[in-house]
Structure formats: structure tokens, C-alpha cells
Amino acid sequence: MSVSRLKTSAPHLIAAMVTPFTPAGDIDRPSLERLVTFLQRGGIDEFFLVGSTGESPLLDESDRLAIVETVRRAAPQAQIYAGVSGLGHRHAVRNAREMQHAGADVAVLMSPFFVALDQEQLVNYCTRVADGSPLPLAVYHHLRMPTPFAVPTVARLARHPNIVALKDTNGGDANRCAEILAATAGRPLRFLQGVEKLVLPTLEAGGHGCVVAQGCIAPHWYRALFTAWQAGHLAEARALQERITGLWTLFTRPEVRQSFNHFLHTLKLPLQQRGVLATTGGALPGIVFEPAFEEMITAFMREHLDVEPAPAAR
């Protein structure tokens, strides 16, 4: 394992970044650079790239590397977490090596796509990737994947010297953080919450931070919550958590949940309206959204986030 710039301080405030695309379907590097600047001005300097919000299953290797290289150039001192999940452990290890060269600090691994494993097989899979990865490895629990990371499995993986964190997108299980912290006591594994409404409860339970897609559009809210929490201003932190939870209600609406692309558009449209992204395009070509859907997003954001439409960036 190579020397890493992995930050040891907690809590970690990490934005799960969207991937900007040009109308031709290429990675939009200028928009990606503006997004990095926007997040840094909002108080976020840790970025999770090539994850589910970043459309990782739809990206080829050159796209993945271009994203990490662009963010590293735009933010030389930032902490970069890069998704390396692929078609088996050899593919994941190869991705980790390439991400290291591109400038990532931490590799992030989900359970295998499509195929279901039992927990012993999941431990074996993650161990093989951790053994071969030149970067520290974070494992990523998400309920959309065929195989969940059970608490005893996380405890076993926490013993591996190259597995340093868990990103936990658990669907809203408020008890899981405490269970994992108890099961991994004495180990340096960091628990990173992936559910927006559980950010403050995670900090209160002793967790180590969060990785949140909503951080892309409201970074200042999360930074203010973390600042209030660290200063001991609990009432202020709880009020901010309520605002964050209220903002997330948009993403639970049936119109947004009808497809993953509708979810991404709900994140990208406010960024385009702020002039951060040039377009709202995604990895899949030819997708068009109903005007009423976009009007709903705009109206909600104006009410909850004070997003005013602005000319698209050029």
C-alpha cells in the first residue's frame, strides 16, 4: 500500500458528486471544475467521485480517470474518494491502481453488481480487493446492491489494515451506526453516513461524518451543521438538520423516484440554474424531461434553497 494523504481528523464532510457531461456525451471538465469551486466555497473539500451519484456503472475507464484527474488539478489539497467497483475483484484492483495514478486518495468498493453473495463470499471479495489495492479502501453499503454488508461482516472487514472506512447508505436505519461502532470498537474504521436525514444522529452516536449527494446543491448547510455540532451549539445543529431533511423530501416524491435519471436531474438542474453546470445531461443520451417536472424542481428549490435561475455557464 502506498503512502496516502488520508485525513485522520473527524468529522468528514464529503460530497457525493454528480458527473457533468457535454451535449456530445463527453465529460464536461469546465463544469466539473466549477462544481469543485462551488463546493469549496460552500465549505466542502472532500469529494466522492465515480460513485452511484456520479453514474459510475455507465462510465468507461477513460471517463473515470478524466473525472479524478480534473478534480485533482482543480483541488490539489482536497481529499478524493474514487469508486473502483467493477466486474470482479481483478477489475476493481485494476481500477484502484489507475485511480491512484489519477490522483485519488481512497478507493471505494461496493459489493459486486448483479450477482448476490453470502456474507463469507463478500468478506473474501473485499479482502482480495483490499490486499491488491495500492490505495486505502472504503467499503460501500447500499440497499440497491444485491448483497448488503451485515454488521458482523463490517466488523470482520474492519480488521484488515487496508480497509479504513464504511460508507453506509442504509435506507434510514437510525440504529445501524451505533451497532457498527460497537462492533468495530478499537478499530480505526470510520463510519460515514450516506443518508441525509441521519447526518446529525450519526455525529451524536459517535460516527465520523457523511457522504451525501445533497451536498452538491447545499454544501453551506452541511458545513454550518458540522460547525455548529463541533462548537456544541446543538439547537442550531438540529435546526439545520431539519432544513436538510426538509430539502430531501423533494427526492422522495414519486416524480423523482420514477427513475435514477430523474433523481440526477433533480440534483443537476439547480446547479445549471446557478451557472455551475453548463447542461443537465447525463451518461445516457437522448433523455428528455417533461417541463412540468422541471417546474416542480425549480419551484421547490426556490422555496427551500433560494435558487434563482441564472444563465447557463458557457
Which residues are marked as active site?
Answer: 140, 167
Q: What is the DSSP-derived secondary structure letter of residue 27?
A: B
Torsion, Cα of 233, 239, 243, 245 (10° steps): 90
In the three-class reduction of DSSP (H, G, I as helix; E, B as strand; rest coil), residue 58 is classed as: helix
Q: Quick one: which H or E segment has residue 169?
A: strand 163-169
**What is the residue-wise DSSP string for 73-118?**
HH-TTSEEEEE---SSHHHHHHHHHHHHHHT-SEEEEESPSS----
Which residue's entry shows cell 465515480? Answer: 50
Q: What is the DSSP-derived secondary structure letter of residue 305?
A: T
Q: Specify whether the CB–CB gap between 53 and 12 falls below 8 A.
A: no
Bridge partners for 193 per DSSP: 168, 210
What is the Cα–Cα distance from 53 to 214, expressed in whole angstroms?
10
The interaxial angle of helices 219-231 and 29-41, nearest 10 deg, is 30
C-alpha cell recorded at residue 89:
475483484
Q: How many residues does the chain have?
A: 314
Contacts of 143 (CB under 8 A, 6+ apart): 169, 170, 171
Rounded to the nearest angstrom, the gap between the alpha carbon of residue 195 and the centroid of all alpha carbons in its chain is: 10
Cis ω for the linkage preceding 161 (within 30 of 0): no
Cα–Cα nearest to 81, from 206, 192, 157, 188: 192
Q: Look up residue 284 and give its amino acid.
A: L
